Amino acid sequence: MNTPTAYQARLHQSPRGGVMPYRLLLPNPFDPARAYPALLFFHGAGDRGDDNIAQLRNVLHRFTHPDLRAQYPCIIIAPQCPADGQWVEAYTMNHLHRLTRPADAGEQMRLALEILAVVEQQYRPARLYISGLSMGGFAAWDCLTRFPEKLAAVIPICGGGDPATVTPAAARVPVWAFHSADDPWVEVQRTRDMVAALRQAGGAPRYTEYTHHAHASWEPAYAEPELLPWLFSQSGSPAREQIPLSKRGICSRRGMAGEVCLGASVNK
């Protein structure tokens, strides 16, 4: 099925002002009596606009494959940020070259979360996953630190955040982060810092660092054979047992065809 055709085209008009186009993918077949998991996807800066199509071109086309839809029935929510906007208002940088999270994520995140609320009210999903790439990777990290209790799992790709905002509650959320060491647009240290902060707060995030994918680390990330089984195995229980600190593995860098991590810890 053609990707734009598979996703319903919708327009959110906020009662507080502002509009945002978004796409919605429902399971096929769809059972209204069943509670499905939902994935809120934040696209990157290159897919901004108002055509309500560009946000589908990276990653989301995978979810329209019939076999995948049958194996992992879920609701996918894909808002589109306007060309002059960003998912999270600009982070500031301190003297240690660390990012500082803004007090408020801003207008576009507000609209995206209103869309999420509309979909949740209509379909009552069983749990919520968040993923994002590049600018959307920053959004995924931001959501993790602002409302971790709402999330069942997070997949941030080539983004970053404020390590100081990572709490034990955020550390309990299953995370699989991705970045490439040679990323020319977003420094790989941004993801390394967030992963380190999660571990320091008691978490056991999974982290894959590539070596030859520049900024497009979402391509190998969503081609990882373990990614979707891992994602859809997360139940959303904050009390879910995690691998003890002493058993965590050390992630190694990888090239275009290597293994992910050596002894990597995984939330299952």
**3-254 falls under which CATH superfamily?**
Alpha/Beta hydrolase fold, catalytic domain (3.40.50.1820)
Query: Which of 234, 125, 231, 127 lies closest to 172 in space, CA to CA?
Result: 234
* Amino acid present at 8: Q
Report the pLDDT value the prediction gives residue 89, as an integer from 0 to 100.
84
Q: Mean pLDDT of all residues in the chain?
A: 87
Torsion of CA 200, 206, 211, 216, to 10 degrees: -110
Per-residue pLDDT band at 101 (split at 50, 70, 90): confident
- Please provide residue 23's backbone torsions phi and psi, each rounded to the nearest 5 degrees: -115, 150
Q: How far apart are CA 6 and CA 1, in angstroms?
A: 6
From 74, 47, 59, 54, select the one nearest 4 (Cα to Cα).
54
Residues contacting 241, CB < 8 A, separation 6+: none
pLDDT tens-digit series, residues 75-98: 999 999 999 999 998 776 554 457
In this predicted model, what pLDDT tens digit does every residue of 236-263 receive, in sequence order?
744 333 322 222 233 333 332 222 332 2
Q: How confident is the model at residue 74 (pLDDT cuts 50, 70, 90)?
A: very high
Question: pTM of the full predicted structure?
Answer: 0.86
Cα–Cα distance, 104 to 102 (Å, whole number): 5
The amino acid that residue 89 corresponds to is E
pLDDT at 108 over 90: yes
The predicted pLDDT at position 93 comes to: 59
pLDDT in tens, 29-52: 999 999 999 999 999 999 999 999
